[in-house]
Every structure is written in structure tokens, then in C-alpha cells.
Amino acid sequence: MKQGMRLVIVTGMSGAGKTQAIKYLEDLSFFCVDNLPPALMPKMAELYVQTEGKLNRLALGIDIRGGHFFSNIVQALDELEKAGFTYQILFMDASDATLVSRYKESRRRHPLALQGRLMEGIRKERKLMQELRGRASKIIDTSKLKVAELRRELADFFTVESEGLGLHVNMVSFGFKHGSVPDADLVFDVRFLPNPHYVEDLKALTGETLAVQHYVMKWGVTQQFFKRLTSLIGFLLPQYLAEGKSHLTIAIGCTGGQHRSVCIAIKLADWIKERGFSVSVEHRDAPRELRDESAHDLREALPILEEEAPETLEEADLGLDFDDGDDVLDDDLVLEVGPDGDASGSTDEGSDREGDPDHGPKPGPVREEA
């Protein structure tokens, strides 16, 4: 990147929120030019360099409104790279149903459906935007986002200080039942960890509370997983940094996105921060109304957990032996997969623990014999 300059290309589907994104970038001190013909991007960037650092944030809005000029977008991006400019592409997206609804509400015509059906125009645009979407540094799906939530997401991405080690990590917790994270670079599934959802005192809380974190991190299997996870991330971060990657999105998923994924995302974010990287954390699916918990509630919850299940927490490794680096299951261990994809473990000797909510997913109903 030309010294001290940040260049952002704002693009995406028509009706997905590019105008709102550009307005907010202006609030972040970006000089914004919307609907610029792609061929003029290198010239605009060179013009900015001539300000000798007085202006160092430039955002260019590019989309299919440019008509036949838009076909030169890939060539223009290649010219920017040859000239020594590094850029980021912000791609605004939304579902087809959302785009149709927004166009009907605004009563505006789609740029590619002036004399045809709206859906035909949207399909044509998706095909044209496919390569740009693949190059995107950040993809924001605005289908379910409110304006305030969009501004918050943009703030997390664009207000990162340029200090530190040069690589910003976006940590996202989510629930698989709510859909994946489309712009994630790395995705980790933690649905195998013991589930606080089945502990009455924890069910209504989230992984942001100390009580839930205490429960999730006490289990042996969690500790071994986190050790191996940080080992992998510790290896990958310098590699991405050497490659020149400026943003990395790590997604941690559990079933509902309320307990386990939130806890692990927070712990991993703290671990990464300790190593000098800047990190932002988003809990995409955690219920907002459950996130606040007073200090008094925490003091009440922790002793209850310690009193009710001090022994079961020590047995949480579920028979997994990691001492020699190999994943070895006990001979008498039985793993059961529930309908939500969670796994629970039991042994012949420990059958009396059936139904204990402190041991992962809730067991199914027991049939009585006639």
C-alpha cells in the first residue's frame, strides 16, 4: 500500500446497503466517491497520493450503475496493484427475497431489469458480481441487519488502529442453526463440548458471563481442545502476516450461538490480544437481552455450581486420553449423538449418571417396560 493510505472499494448488490455504508465511511473520515467508473480508480488513487499524507482515507463506490464501464473493473483493480496500491473490497450483500422486498418498498427499478422482471435483474447482477465477491476483504449480509447494527459492524472493521502487528482478527461466535458465517476464513465447530444449556442455572445466561465461562472451561476436553486450538492459531497468524493479509475472520460455532461458541470466542480473542494482534469480537446469535449480568448474580451462581457438581467437572474429559498426543477412546465409552448434533458420553460403570444435566446434552426419554 502506498505509505499511510487506506483505499477501500465499496461494492455489492444493488439494494444491499452500499449507500448507507458509504455514508458511514464519510463519518469515519474517508473521502468518498460513489458511482465512479472503474477506469478512473488508479487516477483517483494517484491524485490522493499527491496530497502528501494530508488525505489518507479513500473509499470508492463501484457497482453496475456504471453500465458498460463496469466491465473494466477487474482490469482497473490489476492496474491498482501494479501501481503499488493495496486495497480492500467491502462487498454488501443480501438475500434475493430481501432485495425484492426493498425494491418493492422503494418502487425503484433495478439497473438490470429496466424492461424485465426484477428477479431476472437480480440474477444477472449476482453473476456479474461473482468475481468481485470472491475478492472481497469483508462481506456484510444486510438481510437481517438494522442500520445501527450495520454501523457497528463497519466500525469494528474500519476503526482498527494501524499500530500493532498489521493483522486484525475478527472473532465471530455463531449458532449453526442460524446459518454459517459467509466471510469466515477459519471455522471451528465446538458442538462437541459439554452444553450449559442443560444446566438450569446457566440455561438463561450467555457465554459472556463468568458463570458460563467457568462451567465450559472446567472440563478436561475443553482444556485440551483450547490448547490445541491456540497452538494452531499461533502457527497460522505469523504465516498470514507474512503473506500480507490485513484481516482474518475466525468463526466459532455451536448449536445456538449462546453458550459454548461465545465463551471460546472470548477466550481465544483474549489469547490473541496477548500476542500483540488487534482483535474485535462479535457474538452474532447470542440473545442480546441475556447478555447483561450483575456482579451479585455471578457471586450467587458460582458457589451453586461448585457445590452441585464438583466431581463431575473433574470427570469431564469423557475418557479421552491426550497425554501421548493421540486421541484414544476408553473401551467402554459410548458416544451418543442427539438430534441437535451434540454428543454425550457414558460408560457402563457410570450409567447412574444418566439424566445428569452437568454431562453434556440431555438424554432422550426412557421407555418403561409393560
The residue ranking higher by pLDDT, 339 or 132, is: 132
Q: What residue ranges define each of the domains in the chain, with the CATH number in brackets? A: 6-159 (3.40.50.300), 177-313 (no CATH)
State mean pLDDT over 61-76: 76
Q: What is the pLDDT of residue 311?
A: 46
Q: How far apart are CA 168 and CA 278, in angstroms?
A: 5
Q: What is the pLDDT of residue 85?
A: 84
Q: What is the pLDDT of residue 142?
A: 93
The residue ranking higher by pLDDT, 54 or 340, is: 54
Average pLDDT taken over every residue of the chain:
77
Residue with cell 460403570: 349
Q: What is the pLDDT of residue 246?
A: 75
Question: Does residue 340 have a pLDDT over 80?
Answer: no
Highest mean pLDDT among 102-106, 266-270, 299-303: 266-270
The residue ranking higher by pLDDT, 124 or 196, is: 196
pLDDT above 90 covers a percentage of the chain that reads: 34
pLDDT band at 73 (very low <50, low <70, confident <90, very high): confident
pLDDT tens, 277-287?
A: 889 999 999 88
pTM: 0.47
pLDDT tens, 19-52?
A: 889 988 888 788 899 888 888 888 888 887 787 6
pLDDT tens, 191-226?
A: 999 999 999 999 999 999 999 999 999 999 999 999
Cell of 182: 459467509
pLDDT band at 114 (very low <50, low <70, confident <90, very high): low
The residue ranking higher by pLDDT, 155 or 288, is: 155
Question: Does residue 93 have a pLDDT over 50?
Answer: yes
Q: What is the pLDDT of residue 52?
A: 65
- On whether the CB atoms of residues 224 and 288 are closer than 8 A, the answer is no
Question: Does residue 309 have a pLDDT over 50?
Answer: no
